[in-house]
Chain A
Amino acid sequence: MADYKIHLLVCGGTGCKSSESQILAEHLRNEIGNQGLKDYAQVVGTGCFGFCEKGPIVKIIPDNTFYTQVKPEDAKEIVEEHIVKGRKVSRLLYKDPKTEKIITDSKGMEFYKKQVRIALRNCGVIDPENIEEYIARDGYSALGKVLTSMTPEETIEIIKKSGLRGRGGAGFPTGLKWEITRQSPGKEKYVVCNADEGDPGAFMDRSILEGDPHSVIEAMAINGFCTGASNGLVYIRAEYPLAIDRLKNAIDQARHYGLLGEKIFGTDFCFDITLRYGAGAFVCGEETALIHSMEGGRGEPTMKPPFPSVKGYLGKPTNVNNVETFASVPVIINKGFEWYSSIGTEKSKGTKVFALAGKVNNVGLIEVPMGITLREVIFEIGGGIKNGKKFKGVQIGGPSGGCLTHKHLDVPIDYESLVAAGAMMGSGGMIIMDEDDCMVDVAKYFLDFTVDESCGKCTPCRVGNKRMHELLVNITKGNGTKDDIDRLMNLGNVIRDTSLCMLGQSAPNPVLSIIDNFREEYEAHIAEKKCPSGVCKALMIYEIVPENCVGCTACARACPVGAITGERKEIHRIDPSLCIKCGACMDRCKFNAVIVN
């Protein structure tokens, strides 16, 4: 059969799928069938394109047409106009928000210009449910090369020289970890893929597993060969059903093709992978807690050393790597460490995937070379702040990271620079905040998360974070005292120094970095009892300006708690003791008589 002349790539990531991309793909297939073009055009469900802001995405190959926010009912027009007649459907094309120009070719999009896609190389390009598409793009050739022509030591040397570091957050050199696991004595060893992605707003690992599960399977097998393990385990959260389905399917296909199982590539190497489901506890992303959870125990961390590489799952040497780390391995083997280490900075090599979220125009998944600045990420790739508002801060590294401000915009993104600036790489969540966000509230939000997720094993984390959270709640309610900032800093430093695992050690980071960078906001809450951004409800007082009030009673009727009194044609009054600050009166008033203080 001849090859297809046109490919229609439809995003099948969780984001686009929930916007009916599957139905859309079905409609496209039907329309193509109706036009008698079944052997001419092919519809492919792919992984995430990263441009989640405007999903569902349909990309048409070979002319690189990039359609955004496509609905199932648009299928007919796309097929009739574009596929049959070669005319692009301009209303669905992406429009650059700055220049208002319609962009027909995805390569012209600012969003893609600065990206380098290595871990995401197949996301949005291949059908993740079809192993043949992965093989067609060099899939499993790295495993083949390693098994048939290299020794484990040589392979580890390549990973070491490539400079790849753990993408889960801490940045431990991957090659070194592999070497330690290899050198640990023991006949039985394990390879574990950490897919317990728990940061709020982060979806890098999920997208890789959904878009390119085979790259992770291949890398785990390579790791098995290097460390001497024949069992692989993927610890994945049960709340990622699509990723689980695709991974299961991919493992089955790999077994079917003889790429997992006994005597892979005709050698004596045997390797297989099973899945373990996590219930979604944040602490289980910590490797020792993850291992205990897999063993059937409580998801609690234990002291390191011994490191899992020496004594891990069931007491055996266990190599734990993150999804993104694994996804980078096959390319490094295929293209060589020189190529990989030529990308990035001196100490941080290669690329990093980030999930852009918050008040930025292009919410989505991006992969950038290390050393790129925050400014480039937020204002070029991210397309700047939503609705033309002013940039205020960016939280990097999720609840363990720190908050950076405009003075850090030119900081290069690499492990060391981010730590020096008071944040951390983390797993790659990037939440952007604008002038409407209250930083004290943001600090409270992240601490709220860590207090909830603390496993409770050690006191500084269990009790200390709770106390910090109470202080923050007090401040946002207007009950803060002027010693509170010092108290927060003291407590934060103690928790940082004395907690057992990274969850506790990093929990105070958002609070402390926000004190560093936005001290004046804390002070406004404490001294003036005011929330400059108008977020903290308890500090807002709704009032009626007598001069503007005409006594129309609209606000009184809108008030759900009956806090507004006043007769018709008389000036109304809000009782602050009853007011719940819902803002309904303000929305209703046509005379701008309701104000917030």
Chain B
Amino acid sequence: MDKIRNLADLRELKDKLQSKTKLRDKSETPEQMVQIKVAMATCCIASGSRETMNYIVDELDKRNIDAVVTQTGCMGYCYAEPTVEVILPGKEPMVFGYVDSRKADEIIEKYIKGGMLVEGIIPVNYKKID
């Protein structure tokens, strides 16, 4: 590592490093951001959810979208795995099924960026208790 010789050096270094701890800042205020939950139980992982999650995290970063991606347990829709839940700020959660990287790309471009619904939504068919 070279020495920091001026303010520009520091800023450059900070920009390079920022993504490493950004996740910790984001987790403080998830409700203001796009929240994405990827189901990651054994069954989901076997269907490729880890690849999906990696793809989503990397792509969101590349496309400069502020989002918190967390993993969660099995959502129960094992027939449609990998399943991904997307919560846009102030909106109802939306669950998508069969999310491979192609589908994930479509979800990011159309739903997250443009707010347009895409094929493959799994309607909520249960109630949650608090």
Interface residues of A (CB under 8 A from B): 2-7, 9, 40, 61-64, 84-87, 107, 125-126, 132-133, 135-141, 144-145, 147-148, 256-259, 265-266
Contact = CB atoms under 8 A, between A and B. Distances in A.
A86 B54 contact: no
Contacts of A147: 7
Contact of B20 (A62, A64, A136): A136
Given A63-B27, A137-B21, A148 B61 contact: no
Given A84-B45, A265-B10, A257 B4 contact: yes
A257 B13 CA distance: 11
B107 interface: no
A85 B21 contact: no
9 contacts: A62-B68, A136-B14, A137-B25, A138-B14, A144-B10, A145-B7, A256-B3, A258-B3, A265-B5
Contacts of A40: 50, 54
Contacts of B24: 7, 9, 61, 125-126
Given A257-B1, A265-B7, 14 more contacts: A3-B57, A7-B23, A40-B54, A61-B23, A62-B26, A62-B68, A63-B27, A85-B40, A86-B38, A86-B71, A86-B72, A136-B20, A137-B21, A139-B14
A50 to B, nearest CB: 15
A86 B73 contact: yes
Contacts of A135: 10, 13-14, 17
Given A62-B27, A64-B27, A85-B41, A3 B61 contact: yes
Contacts of B17: 132-133, 135-136
Nearest to B54: A5
Contacts of A138: 14
B47 to A, nearest CB: 13
B21 A136 contact: yes
B51 to A, nearest CB: 11
Interface of B: 1, 3-7, 10-11, 13-14, 17-28, 30, 38-42, 45, 50, 53-54, 57-58, 61, 68-73
Contacts of B4: 140, 257-259, 265
Contacts of B61: 3
A144 B7 contact: yes
Contacts, number: 106
A137 B23 CA distance: 11
A285 to B, nearest CB: 34
Contacts of B19: 3
Contacts of A136: 14, 17-18, 20-22
B29 to A, nearest CB: 9
A40 B70 CA distance: 12
Contact of A140 (B10, B21, B70): B10
A121 to B, nearest CB: 11
A318 to B, nearest CB: 28
A92 B5 CA distance: 47
A542 B110 CA distance: 81
A257 B27 contact: no
Contacts of B22: 3, 136
A62 B5 contact: no
Contacts of A126: 21, 24
A381 B3 CA distance: 43
A265 B11 CA distance: 11
Q: Which of B21, B45, B61, B68 lies at the interface centre, i.e. has the most chain A CB atoms within 10 A of its CB? A: B21
Given A84-B45, A85-B42, A141-B14, A62 B23 contact: yes
From A9, A86, A137, A148, residue with most partner B Cβ within 10 Å = A86
A5 B20 CA distance: 10
